[in-house]
Structure 1
């Protein structure tokens, strides 16, 4: 199998869809991170700070990761019917 067949530069999903998916996922992750940080630190302020900083960073990296995978055709059936 040629390596070039595993990649494509035509997106499978729209950019807006990827952004909405990223933001929804990150909101969920912020809640989890803040909850865990609050249990560990005992401070709501520290927990929110930890949750926001880590998840803002992760939001951008996840978006880039999602867009990168949108160009990989491995595992996608080109003829689903």
Structure 2
């Protein structure tokens, strides 16, 4: 089964939203400055979104762990 590019983009955006909120929260707790935490999260959002998309599309091309669907052939 092949994955559509639009699906990969949607997964990229949803995962990065969760990941960026996590990064902002952790940065804020460590640094104690919400402005710096938002800056770190903003930069991280775009760099990691690009990396994830490339990673996802590369894995989509690899057959490891994928199973071919075969039509069921009934014999009576």
Fold equivalence (TM over 0.5):
yes
1:36 deviates by 0.2
Runs of 4+ aligned structure 1 residues displaced above 6 Å come to none
1:69 deviates by 0.4
**Alignment match, 1:71:** 61
TM-score computed with the length of structure 2 as normaliser: 0.87
SS in 2 for 1:70: helix
TM-score computed with the length of structure 1 as normaliser: 0.81
> Does 1:12 pair with 2:2?
yes
**Alignment match, 1:21:** 11
RMSD, aligned CA: 1.5
1:62 deviates by 0.4
Number of equivalenced pairs: 71
Distance 2:37 2:25 in 1: 7
User: Which entry has the higher C-alpha Rg, 1 or 2?
Assistant: 2
Q: Which has the higher contact order (CA 8 A, sep 6+)?
A: 1
Please point out which of 39, 48, 53 is paired with 2:29: 39
